Structure 1
Amino acid sequence: MTTQATASGGGLVPLPVPVVLVDDHHLFRTGVRASLDHRVTVVGEASDVDTAVAQVHEHRPPVVLLDVHLPGGNGGGGAEVVQRCADLLTEGVRFLALSVSDAAEDVVSVIRAGARGYVTKNIAPSELSSAVVQVAGGDAVFSPRLAGFVLDAFGASANDIAVADDELDRLSKREQEVMRLIARGYSYREVASELFISIKTVETHVSAVLRKLQLSSRYELTRWAVARRLL
């Protein structure tokens, strides 16, 4: 029987989640492979753009752990890999950037290309495995405080902002606080710590926010908040 876990977006994800690991440093790939827990299994590796594209097309994994700066190809790095695998995005292949860089231009370039999330390499091993599971389930995942950079990748019209004001009126002040932190990629535990409330209370607020805004997942919530410049 296949073990499953429920991502915060509500979808059932078969475990372990197969991933292709892309990074140009062999020692780093070895370390990541060793640190991932039982929920994730590495089915392929690559160290440059062209090999990465080939591996992703061969394995078609639910998640690709992708470094932003890679040699090869046309010099576009991780963003180029995502662009050259655009035909697989509709088939459920999702990209999670894993980089030492927290520069706005790196975050924006890979998200514009189509990546579903971005975490930095100082992430704890257990949190990285959780991020993979969340992305596989359809969520967007960002290291705290990086999600704001995604604002540069999406435009917001005056109408969007007016609609956002109306939609925000549906949320209580506390629900708005929770919404912004969740949309920025904070975990439930981090939100609870930030707002001095219990994890169960966070879950209750998130459910209320998704219901009131007629959204179905954290990924949709992040896109909703980014498009309205609420982060």
Structure 2
Amino acid sequence: MSETDTTAAGPAGGDAPIRVLLVDDHAMVRSGVRTELAQHAPDLDIVGEAEDVEGAVAAVQALRPDVVLLDVHLPGGQGGGGAEVVSACTALLPVTRFLALSVSDASEDVVAVIRAGARGYVTKAISAPDLAGAVRRVAAGDAAFSPRLAGFVLDAFGTGVGDLAVRDDELDRLTSREREVMRLIARGYTYKEVAAELFISIKTVETHVSAVLRKLQLSSRHELTRWAADRRLL
């Protein structure tokens, strides 16, 4: 099972569906996302929609969704788009979490919305099952990024300690294959993408990830990304 196929029904792993608010200024995009998620992710409940900054902020405050799926380029407000929505709703964090869904893969867009407080950023080229998986991860408090985009975040939020020495004793706990898997996962690859890259099965990827987290005493891929970034391993 890849991480995008996780079956957790709610943000706390219970039976309640994950309540999602869709924010995009194009009605056809909202309709398409709603339709695709209904077909591929019955555990996600679309509780509302918004098309601009003001409408999004009002909807978040009124509906208190688990996850807000929002575009980064939105009309209204002070021109800050999705990042402005996140910033205006920080009082609701972490009850409500934000996942950017955009056609843009520009570093400035990614960094702005993550700096504002979003938990992830995926592009509109993502498949419906992978989008559902990203929503579930964000709802659970983890991070979710399309491949390549995680690097922007690591560059922007790095520790700035380029001379930080890598602790050999920590790396020595990992096999060479576990190190390969660790680097790809930390860069934002899905389990399926790691499997394809390394020519191994998804089940094997899961086994390696579990071993890496256990050996490094980490609890999530978000922590793993920070661990790798701190040591300049990406």
Q: What does residue range 45-60 of structure 1 map to in structure 2 within 5 Å?
A: 45-60=49-64
Contact kept, 8 Å, 2:162 with 2:232, in 1: the verdict is no
Alignment correspondent of 1:20: 21
SS of residue matched to 1:161: coil
1:135 lines up with 2:114 in the alignment:
no
TM-score with structure 2 setting the length: 0.88
How far off its partner does 1:135 sit? Answer: 1.3
Q: 2:17 corresponds to which letter in structure 1?
A: P
Contact kept, 8 Å, 1:39 with 1:133, in 2: the verdict is no
Query: Percent identity of the aligned residues?
Result: 70
The CA distance in 2 between the partners of 1:56 and 1:85, in whole Å, is 7
2:178 pairs with 172, 175, 180, which one?
175
Alignment correspondent of 2:3: none
Alignment correspondent of 2:213: 210
- 1:150-174 per-residue CA deviation (whole Å, 9 max, x = no partner) reads 1232132438832555533332221
Q: 1:106 to 1:39 in 2, by over 3 A?
A: same
SS of residue matched to 1:42: strand
2:101 pairs with 92, 98, 102, which one?
98
SS of residue matched to 2:164: helix
Which structure 1 residue ranges, 5 or more long, are not aligned? none
**Root-mean-square deviation over aligned CA pairs:** 2.2
Q: 1:80 to 1:210 in 2, by over 3 A?
A: same
- 1:115-169 per-residue CA deviation (whole Å, 9 max, x = no partner) reads 1111100111111111111211122111111111112321324388325555333
Contact kept, 8 Å, 1:23 with 1:66, in 2: the verdict is yes
How far off its partner does 1:228 sit? Answer: 3.7
Alignment correspondent of 1:34: 35
1:150 lines up with 2:148 in the alignment:
no
Q: 2:197 corresponds to which letter in structure 1?
A: E
The CA distance in 1 between the partners of 2:225 and 2:63, in whole Å, is 28
SS of residue matched to 1:41: strand
Moved more, 118-127 or 154-163: 154-163
The CA distance in 1 between the partners of 2:186 and 2:57, in whole Å, is 29
- 1:19-78 per-residue CA deviation (whole Å, 9 max, x = no partner) reads 010001111101111110312111011111111111111111111101000111111111
Which structure 2 residue ranges, 5 or more long, are not aligned? 1-5
Moved more, 72-81 or 184-193: 184-193
TM-score with structure 1 setting the length: 0.89
The CA distance in 2 between the partners of 1:161 and 1:190, in whole Å, is 30
Moved more, 49-58 or 169-178: 169-178
Q: 1:204 to 1:93 in 2, by over 3 A?
A: same
Alignment correspondent of 1:69: 73
Q: 1:174 to 1:16 in 2, by over 3 A?
A: same
Q: Which runs of 4+ in 1 moved over 6 A?
A: none
Contact kept, 8 Å, 2:110 with 2:121, in 1: the verdict is yes
Alignment correspondent of 2:7: 5
Contact kept, 8 Å, 2:99 with 2:119, in 1: the verdict is yes
The CA distance in 2 between the partners of 1:45 and 1:27, in whole Å, is 12
